[in-house]
A and B are shown apart, each in its own frame.
Chain A
Amino acid sequence: MSVDSILILVALTNLMLLAYSRLGASIRVTAAQGILLGLLPLVASPHAGWHAALIAVGSMALKGVVFPRLMFRALREAKVQREIEPFVGYNVSLLIGVAALAVSIWIGQQLPVPGATISSLVVPVAMFSILVGLFLIISRKKAVNQVLGFLVLENGVYTFGVGLIQHTSLLVELGVLLDVFVAVFVMGIIIFHISREFDHIDTDALSSLKD
């Protein structure tokens, strides 16, 4: 599997996330995206040594196994199955996704990047992931989807990092992973508490909490 095909698969998973209404499926797609991105550094520089491999395995384990399990638990506890009435419908979401892809490709051409990248697709796909992540946070109501949006956004930043910096420092990478882990963990707890307090996890209904 080449770098380009991984990146294209990542872009496709992004589009899938925009089209899915079932939360369980969305979680699985995000997990798949995490595993794909974990493979990226291994494929990009196969002779990088054991610590790059360690990072890749760790990141795959977290994004592919730990996070999905946490999210599924949150789903079970909140007793929700699907996003019923998003702010933006699925067809429109897909159209916006395509527009975002176009913008990302344009940005990829314009953005001056220091040094060489492992592929010309790195910047567009990274930007696309970031935009899709933000869009998920904006357009969906269920808190689980917002966590997924945050994860996708983080995946975009990760893609950027892996694609640009050839020798990612172990410490920085671990720091980022830890960051995301804590974030997802906390969000899982918050989702649980919100659903226990309010009997739902619709974030738009929380607007009555404003002053």
Chain B
Amino acid sequence: MFPVLFGLGIWMLSGLAALFARRSPRTATACGVGGAVAGSIVALVPVLGVLAGGHVEPLRWPWAVPCGEFHIALDALSAWFLLPILILSAAAAVYGGEYLWPYRERKSLGPPWFFYNVLVASMALVVLVRNGVLFLVAWEVMALSSFFLVTFEDEKESVREAGWTYLVATHLGTAFLLAMFVLMGREAGSLDFDAFGAAAFAPALANLLFVLAVVGFGTKAGFMPLHVWLPEAHPAAPSHVSAIMSGVMIKTGIYGLIRTLMILGTPPLWWGWLLIGIGLTSGIVGVLFALAQRDLKRTLAYSSVENIGIIALGLGLGTLGASMHSGALTALGFGGALLHVLNHALFKGLLFLGAGAVAHGTGSRDMDRLGGLLKRMPLAGAAFLVGAAAISGLPPFNGFVSEFLIYFGAFKGAVSLPASGAVPMLAVIAGLALIGGLAAACFTRAFGMVFLGEPRSDEARHAHEPGLAMRLPMWILAGGCVLVGMGAPLVWGVVTRAFGVAEEYRALAAEPLSWIVIGSALFLALVGALVVLRRELLSGRVVGQSATWGCGYARPTARIQYTATSFSQPITSQFESLLGTCASVTPPDGYFPRHSAVASETLDACAEKIYRPAFTLLDRALSRLRWLQHGTVQLYVLYIALTLLALLVWKLG
């Protein structure tokens, strides 16, 4: 346990050092990056040890806070969630060193590095702690430090608004968690997680606790319709922060949900149905909204909602399996979900870093203004391509492996379970297929519009490749995507062994996974052979180059190309009722049309149809109480005095 504590200490101290060195951007960056990387490496040792089957003694220190105790433990679940936290935080820190550097003239770099390292430490603490009070403290520190990172560019109105949305959403979620821990603590007589685990909750209470956990943790994870802060906060944050927020911070919500499921014991059937329903909604609607966005980082944020949906599908399968006592389904569902947690951290981190490289090189994130970047930034573009293929769930990358496990579990369940279990399985299969197809379309669009074709603006024309500090983390993450994809049977073995899955269920998936790896290897060999063949055929011939989409015009322009909006229009128009895209069209008019224009915008349906009216209503109701706040100090004291006196008289009388 001490290496983990040591890592926590390094993060906190280096963060403080960065804060104190805020006058010198060089020192602040060095402290921030160095501390984040060093802490991650130190903490990685016990994490890998636990995943390899080792055991780490839990740590209990008394803490003066009522019901609080500094109780941290590192079991397989904590270690599994710590792994992506450590890898991605270190990679994103190296990237951030270069990404934030141009801001040094305008802003102090001390605070962002302080909050970055505090965020990393608090995320690690969230998955380690075993005490309700300490958990909420770590949870809150995580929310606040990420809030300050989101509002890094606070001179922009949109960023302040995004930060505000995030702050409200995260605190609403925490309120549910507070209620959950209080209820658990009342039943268990202590706020210690071990006591929670030992307590027997009545079915009605367990149902209530589960719903509280789904809402509370789901807000952080981004379950539809609790996701509204994601598409606001992720684009507003600096890219390396978006990467760790989307890659690992929202996963702490998934961690909390799994931990709660472990505490609550054998689940009733409807929990599985609920999780599958949430998964399908988040997955399908999330990817549809991703398709309708023009902002690259907004697309990625909605795609995070989609991937959280896939994880929820896996959790739903596992929960259903647990309630129907089907070991295979439990292993495959939870296994797929856990693996997707790691995979999503790798490729979504990579994609956000890629989007940051694009924003860094061009100053724009609007896909309709980009294009042709693969020629200008080939190295970053290739890494982005790997991430796009992986997130679309294509072999030989890692996204395929976790989605395959979930498919495999769903097929197993569909043929072996009674109707109450088989019907949701069929829904999972159909839904996952739809999600996969739409995700492929979404990332074809994202990559194609940004990196292929001709530049659609001057910014894109003068784009430049990012430096080594930004490219290296992207390549490490891309390497991780390939590694997990090609080493799937190995990773599956590690996961199942760490979580103590029975041998028969491990073998169940091990064989198809090895076939997948063999198939992927053959595919890669084929691609390699084709590349060699192409080079052979072209050698000694003249290879001409012309504009992409030139179409034989003498003077082609970049405006002949498909735009991001027109690419996705066939799909978005099909789902128009769901997306609520509003378009304003000025059609060409008359025999010699002069001016015509099309503009379309897709606002978040949940935010517009549910939250905005609800908050407007709340605002109107509460504004009736405005007279209470009048600014006269004397009356405020009067309120306090009258309250105290009334309480005293009531108590004594």
Interface of A with B (CB < 8 Å)? 87, 103, 107, 110-111, 131, 134-135, 137-141, 146, 203-204, 206-210
Residues of B contacting A139 with CB < 8 Å? Answer: 634
Find out whether the CB atom of A138 lies under 8 angstroms from the CB atom of B637. Answer: yes
Cross-interface CB contact of A134 among B631, B633, B641, B648, cutoff 8 Å: B641
User: CA A48 – CA B499 in complex, angstroms?
Assistant: 68
Residues of B contacting A203 with CB < 8 Å? Answer: 632-634
- 1/0 per residue B627-653: CB within 8 Å of A? 001111111011011000100110011
Find out whether the CB atom of B637 lies under 8 angstroms from the CB atom of A137. Answer: yes
For this complex, 10 residue pairs linking A to B, each with C-beta atoms less than 8 Å apart, are A103-B649, A107-B652, A137-B633, A137-B637, A138-B637, A138-B638, A141-B634, A203-B633, A204-B633, A207-B632
Find out whether the CB atom of A210 lies under 8 angstroms from the CB atom of B634. Answer: no
Known contacts A107-B648, A131-B645, A209-B631; can you find 6 more A-B pairs with CB under 8 A?
A137-B633, A137-B634, A138-B635, A138-B637, A206-B631, A208-B631
Residues of A contacting B635 with CB < 8 Å? Answer: 138
User: CA A111 – CA B653 in complex, angstroms?
Assistant: 10
Residues of A contacting B629 with CB < 8 Å? Answer: 210
Interface of B with A (CB < 8 Å)? 629-635, 637-638, 640-641, 645, 648-649, 652-653
Cross-interface CB contact of B631 among A107, A140, A141, A207, cutoff 8 Å: A207
User: CA A138 – CA B648 in complex, angstroms?
Assistant: 19
Residues of B contacting A207 with CB < 8 Å? Answer: 630-633
Query: What is the minimal beta-carbon distance from A126 to any residue of chain B, in angstroms?
Result: 13
Query: What is the minimal beta-carbon distance from A87 to any residue of chain B, in angstroms?
Result: 6
User: CA A121 – CA B347 in complex, angstroms?
Assistant: 75
Query: What is the minimal beta-carbon distance from B438 to any residue of chain A, in angstroms?
Result: 45
Given A110-B652, A110-B653, A111-B652, CB of A138 within 8 Å of CB of B631: no
User: CA A152 – CA B585 in complex, angstroms?
Assistant: 72
**Chain B, residue nearest A134 (CB):** B641
Query: What is the minimal beta-carbon distance from A132 to any residue of chain B, in angstroms?
Result: 11
**Chain A, residue nearest B653 (CB):** A110
Residues of A contacting B640 with CB < 8 Å? Answer: 134
Find out whether the CB atom of A210 lies under 8 angstroms from the CB atom of B631. Answer: yes
Residues of A contacting B653 with CB < 8 Å? Answer: 110
Residues of B contacting A111 with CB < 8 Å? Answer: 652
Given A131-B645, A210-B629, CB of A204 within 8 Å of CB of B634: yes
User: CA A140 – CA B634 in complex, angstroms?
Assistant: 8
Residues of A contacting B631 with CB < 8 Å? Answer: 206-210
Find out whether the CB atom of B630 lies under 8 angstroms from the CB atom of A87. Answer: no
9 nearest A-B residue pairs (beta carbon): A210-B631, A207-B631, A110-B652, A134-B641, A138-B638, A138-B634, A137-B637, A207-B632, A138-B637
**What secondary structure prevails in chain A residues at the interface with B?**
helix
User: CA A206 – CA B634 in complex, angstroms?
Assistant: 11
User: CA A206 – CA B629 in complex, angstroms?
Assistant: 13
User: CA A119 – CA B437 in complex, angstroms?
Assistant: 85
User: CA A103 – CA B645 in complex, angstroms?
Assistant: 10
Query: What is the minimal beta-carbon distance from B608 to any residue of chain A, in angstroms?
Result: 27
Given A107-B648, A111-B652, CB of A134 within 8 Å of CB of B637: yes
Residues of A contacting B638 with CB < 8 Å? Answer: 138
User: CA A203 – CA B649 in complex, angstroms?
Assistant: 30
**Chain A, residue nearest B652 (CB):** A110
Residues of B contacting A137 with CB < 8 Å? Answer: 633-634, 637
User: CA A204 – CA B630 in complex, angstroms?
Assistant: 10
User: CA A140 – CA B652 in complex, angstroms?
Assistant: 29
User: CA A208 – CA B645 in complex, angstroms?
Assistant: 29
Query: What is the minimal beta-carbon distance from A153 to any residue of chain B, in angstroms?
Result: 10
User: CA A107 – CA B649 in complex, angstroms?
Assistant: 8
Residues of B contacting A140 with CB < 8 Å? Answer: 634
Residues of B contacting A131 with CB < 8 Å? Answer: 641, 645
Residues of B contacting A107 with CB < 8 Å? Answer: 648-649, 652
Residues of A contacting B649 with CB < 8 Å? Answer: 103, 107
**Chain B, residue nearest A210 (CB):** B631
Query: What is the minimal beta-carbon distance from B1 to any residue of chain A, in angstroms?
Result: 37
Residue from the set A138, A146, A207 with the largest chain B CB neighbour count within 10 Å: A138
Cross-interface CB contact of B630 among A141, A146, A210, cutoff 8 Å: A210
User: CA A140 – CA B640 in complex, angstroms?
Assistant: 16
User: CA A210 – CA B629 in complex, angstroms?
Assistant: 8
Query: What is the minimal beta-carbon distance from B236 to any residue of chain A, in angstroms?
Result: 24
Find out whether the CB atom of B637 lies under 8 angstroms from the CB atom of A206. Answer: no
Residues of B contacting A110 with CB < 8 Å? Answer: 652-653
**Chain A, residue nearest B648 (CB):** A107
Residues of A contacting B632 with CB < 8 Å? Answer: 203-204, 207
Query: What is the minimal beta-carbon distance from B627 to any residue of chain A, in angstroms?
Result: 12
Query: What is the minimal beta-carbon distance from A137 to any residue of chain B, in angstroms?
Result: 5
User: CA A134 – CA B640 in complex, angstroms?
Assistant: 9
**Chain A, residue nearest B634 (CB):** A138
User: CA A140 – CA B638 in complex, angstroms?
Assistant: 12
User: CA A146 – CA B637 in complex, angstroms?
Assistant: 11
Query: What is the minimal beta-carbon distance from B623 to any residue of chain A, in angstroms?
Result: 13
User: CA A204 – CA B652 in complex, angstroms?
Assistant: 34
Residues of B contacting A103 with CB < 8 Å? Answer: 645, 649
Query: What is the minimal beta-carbon distance from B642 to any residue of chain A, in angstroms?
Result: 9
User: CA A141 – CA B152 in complex, angstroms?
Assistant: 42
Residues of B contacting A208 with CB < 8 Å? Answer: 631
User: CA A210 – CA B633 in complex, angstroms?
Assistant: 10
Find out whether the CB atom of A87 lies under 8 angstroms from the CB atom of B634. Answer: yes
**Chain A, residue nearest B639 (CB):** A138
User: CA A159 – CA B78 in complex, angstroms?
Assistant: 55
Query: What is the minimal beta-carbon distance from A146 to any residue of chain B, in angstroms?
Result: 8
Residues of A contacting B630 with CB < 8 Å? Answer: 207, 210
**Chain B, residue nearest A86 (CB):** B634
Given A110-B652, A111-B652, A138-B638, CB of A206 within 8 Å of CB of B645: no
Given A204-B632, A204-B634, CB of A138 within 8 Å of CB of B641: yes
User: CA A176 – CA B649 in complex, angstroms?
Assistant: 27
Residues of A contacting B648 with CB < 8 Å? Answer: 107
User: CA A103 – CA B648 in complex, angstroms?
Assistant: 11
User: CA A140 – CA B632 in complex, angstroms?
Assistant: 11
User: CA A87 – CA B653 in complex, angstroms?
Assistant: 30
Residues of A contacting B634 with CB < 8 Å? Answer: 87, 137-141, 203-204
Residue from the set B630, B631, B634, B648 with the largest chain A CB neighbour count within 10 Å: B634
User: CA A111 – CA B629 in complex, angstroms?
Assistant: 33
User: CA A28 – CA B499 in complex, angstroms?
Assistant: 76
**Chain A, residue nearest B635 (CB):** A138
User: CA A194 – CA B629 in complex, angstroms?
Assistant: 21
User: CA A137 – CA B649 in complex, angstroms?
Assistant: 21
Residues of B contacting A210 with CB < 8 Å? Answer: 629-631
User: CA A5 – CA B633 in complex, angstroms?
Assistant: 35
Residues of B contacting A135 with CB < 8 Å? Answer: 641
Residues of B contacting A141 with CB < 8 Å? Answer: 634
User: CA A203 – CA B630 in complex, angstroms?
Assistant: 13
User: CA A121 – CA B649 in complex, angstroms?
Assistant: 19
Residues of B contacting A204 with CB < 8 Å? Answer: 632-634
Query: What is the minimal beta-carbon distance from B459 to any residue of chain A, in angstroms?
Result: 40
Query: What is the minimal beta-carbon distance from A210 to any residue of chain B, in angstroms?
Result: 3
User: CA A203 – CA B638 in complex, angstroms?
Assistant: 14
Residue from the set A131, A137, A146, A206 with the largest chain B CB neighbour count within 10 Å: A137
Residues of B contacting A134 with CB < 8 Å? Answer: 637, 640-641
Query: What is the minimal beta-carbon distance from B614 to any residue of chain A, in angstroms?
Result: 23
Query: What is the minimal beta-carbon distance from A151 to any residue of chain B, in angstroms?
Result: 15
User: CA A88 – CA B427 in complex, angstroms?
Assistant: 72
Query: What is the minimal beta-carbon distance from A9 to any residue of chain B, in angstroms?
Result: 25
**Chain A, residue nearest B638 (CB):** A138
Query: What is the minimal beta-carbon distance from B639 to any residue of chain A, in angstroms?
Result: 10
Residues of B contacting A146 with CB < 8 Å? Answer: 633
